[in-house]
Amino acid sequence: MAIRERDKTAFAIGLAQDHAPGEVWAYNNSAIQTLDAVLEAATGEDPVEYAATHLFEPIGMRHSRLTRDAAGNALMFMGLRTTCRDLARFGLLMLRGGEWDGEQVVSREYVEAATGAPSTPLNAAYGYLFWLNREGRIGSPRLATTGRDDGSSFDGQLVAGAPEDTFFALGFRNQVVAVMPSAGVVAVRMGDAPPPGAPFDQSTLTLGVLAALTGR
């Protein structure tokens, strides 16, 4: 796993493929880490600095920064240092289609592609780095949120009872940004891992906030 490597980008790029594209869907930290090299090649800038200049600063995420691995690479699959309010700003940016105070900070086309439909027929709940609430065959986010993969999948929605246009940024230990465009709601959960006796996930947050704010 990339998490054990000093130079996570080199490790991730050096991995071979286990399957041909389009055959298998799996949540994969190393695949996400390759975006360090992709973004630097595409922008000509260090991704840590690029994020600060082109994302965090324009929307007022003043307490957020990407961190680096021991080799100095931007950490893409983990390591964002942020606050609950800053994450709420990020969710609001996505709710508004990438626009902030009249400025198109992230292209509307990307937001629509990332959150509007599944990126693969193998998992109806995954767009481009965002989890979706679309109906279909769902690959479990358990590995992303708990570090343990039970290999489960099911038919339905990630959060049954929530609007289908809802989408999520999900992090380790059940850090959640839930964006509900049709309800006009962004909800964020940050904190330690929920204790075993009080389970908490994206369903608990989304449905609880919807019930509190909209009466649904």
Asked whether residue 59 is assigned to any structural domain, the reply reads no
Asked whether residue 128 is assigned to any structural domain, the reply reads yes
In tens, the pLDDT along 7-42 reads: 999 999 999 999 998 999 989 999 999 999 999 999
Q: Does residue 67 contact residue 80 with C-beta atoms inside 8 Å?
A: yes
Asked whether residue 170 is assigned to any structural domain, the reply reads yes
DSSP for residue 183? G
CA 176 vs CA 68, 90, 137: distances in Å: 22, 12, 22
Strands (E), the chain: 99-100, 103-104, 131-132, 136-139, 153-156, 167-171, 175-180, 185-189
Res. 55: pLDDT tops 90: yes
Q: Per-residue pLDDT averaged across 116-126, rounded?
A: 96
Q: Per-residue pLDDT averaged across 165-177, rounded?
A: 95
Q: Does residue 70 contact residue 11 with C-beta atoms inside 8 Å?
A: no
Provide the domain count of the chain: 1
Q: Per-residue pLDDT averaged across 124-131, rounded?
A: 97
Asked whether residue 205 is assigned to any structural domain, the reply reads yes
In tens, the pLDDT along 186-216 reads: 999 999 988 888 878 999 999 999 999 887 6
Which residue segment(s) compose the domain that 144 sits in? 121-216
Per-residue pLDDT, 69 = 96
Res. 150: pLDDT tops 80: no
Per-residue pLDDT, 216 = 63
Report the C-alpha gap between 80 and 71 in whole angstroms. Answer: 17
Asked whether residue 80 is assigned to any structural domain, the reply reads no
